Each structure stands twice: as structure tokens, then as C-alpha cells.
Amino acid sequence: MPNVESAKKYMRVSAKKKAQNDVWRSLLANLERKFHKALKEKNKTEAEKLVKDLQKTLDKSAKLNVVHKNNASRSKSRFIKALNKIK
């Protein structure tokens, strides 16, 4: 355990930030799972709606530094590519 006051505060702040990051990561994982399920079932309309939500969520998490901006960009590109494959 930290002894210095600033270290104690840093622990509190980082715990809050971790909790918030976990929420965003969980949201991303759930959306991604639903998207892949829609792709597997070849449900294009559902997949299009989910891709929109995924893009929005990825942009927001990149802005909040939950994921790196290049990682978010790469993921969005891959989701669009996968969506365009199904007809």
C-alpha cells in the first residue's frame, strides 16, 4: 500500500479510470460478438446497424484512450471489409 498522499490519490484515480475502461472494453466486445454473429447468419441489415454502433463506440473509446486510435481505425476497416463480403 502507498504511504505518500499523492500515491494514495493516484491509486483512487487509476481504479476509477480502470472501471470506466472496463465498461468501454466490455461494450466493444459485446458489439463485436453480435456483429460476428450477424455475419455468420448472413443478416446484412442487422450487421449494418451493428457496424454503425461499432464505429461510433470505437471512435469514442479511441478518444478516451481506451484503445489506440490506429487500433480503432484498423478495426473499423476490418469490420467494413467483412460486411462488404456478405451479399
Tell me the residue range of the domain where 29 lies: 5-85
Q: What is the pTM of this model?
A: 0.87
Q: What is the pLDDT of residue 14?
A: 97
DSSP states along 19-62: HHHHHHHHHHHHHHHHHHHHHHTT-HHHHHHHHHHHHHHHHHHH
pLDDT in tens, 11-30: 999 999 999 999 999 999 99
Domain count, the chain: 1
What radius of gyration do the chain's Cα atoms show? Answer: 17
In this predicted structure, what is the pLDDT of residue 1?
A: 85
> Could you tell me if 46 and 22 are in contact, meaning their C-beta atoms sit under 8 angstroms apart?
no
Rounded to 10 degrees, the C-alpha dihedral 53/26/38/82 comes to 70
Q: Which residues of the chain have pLDDT under 50?
A: none
Contact 58, 72 (CB under 8 A): yes
Are 39 and 47 in contact, with CB atoms under 8 Å apart?
yes
Q: The CATH number of the domain where 47 resides is what?
A: 1.20.58.110
Residue 8: its pLDDT value, please?
A: 95
pLDDT score for 20: 97
